[in-house]
C-alpha cells in the first residue's frame, strides 16, 4: 500500500489531501509523477496529473488543491453517506 512520497512537501500535502478525499494515487513514469483518480471510478471520473518537477512547486500544489476541491464526485459521495 505504501507509495513513495513526492519530493516537494507542498505537492505531497496536496496529494495527501486528495487521498483524504477518497482519491487514488496511481504512480506513473516520465514527467508525470502520478495520476490522481477521483472517487468516481467510471470513465466520467476526473483524472489529475501531478508533475515530478513543475515549473513552480507552490503554484502546482495550489492548483492541485483547487482541482481536488472542485471535483463534484467527492461531494456526491459525501451526500450519499448521509442518505
Partner 1 sequence: MKKYEFTIIATGLDPNRDDFADRFFGAGCDDATISFQKGAIILEFDRTAKNFAHALDEAIKNVELAGATIVHIEPDHLVSLSDIAVRAGVTRAAASHYANGDRGKDFPLPVARVTTENPLWDWVEVARWLRRRGQIGLAELLRARVVRYANLEISKRRATQRVFGRDGGYRRDHRTAA
23 to each of 17, 55, 56, 62, how far by Cα in Å? 9, 24, 23, 17
Nearer to partner 1, 25 or 48 (CB): 48
Q: Which of 9, 27, 32, 75 is close enough to bind partner 1 by CB under 8 A?
A: 32
Q: Which stretch binds partner 1 (CB under 8 A): 2-10, 15-23, 24-32, 75-83?
A: 24-32
Interhelix angle for 9-20 vs 57-70, to 10°? 10
Asked if 16 interacts with partner 1 (CB under 8 A), we say: no
- Between residue 36 and residue 55, which ones bind partner 1 under the rule CB under 8 A? 43-44, 46-49, 51, 53-55
Task: Kindly give, in sequence order, each residue whose CB lies less than 8 Å from that of residue 24, ignoring residues fewer than 6 positions away.
Answer: 36, 37, 41
Task: Work out whether 13 is an interface residue with partner 1 (CB under 8 A).
Answer: no
Cβ contact 19:71 at 8 Å: no
Number of residues lying near partner 1 (CB under 8 A): 22
Amino acid at each position: 500500500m505504501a507509495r513513495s512520497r513526492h519530493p516537494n512537501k507542498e505537492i505531497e500535502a496536496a496529494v495527501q489531501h486528495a487521498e483524504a478525499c477518497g482519491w487514488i494515487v496511481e504512480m506513473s513514469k516520465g514527467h508525470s509523477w502520478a495520476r490522481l483518480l477521483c472517487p468516481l471510478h467510471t470513465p466520467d471520473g476526473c483524472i489529475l496529473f501531478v508533475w515530478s518537477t513543475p515549473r513552480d512547486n507552490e503554484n502546482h500544489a495550489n492548483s492541485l488543491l483547487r482541482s481536488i476541491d472542485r471535483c463534484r464526485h467527492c461531494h456526491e459521495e459525501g451526500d450519499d453517506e448521509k442518505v
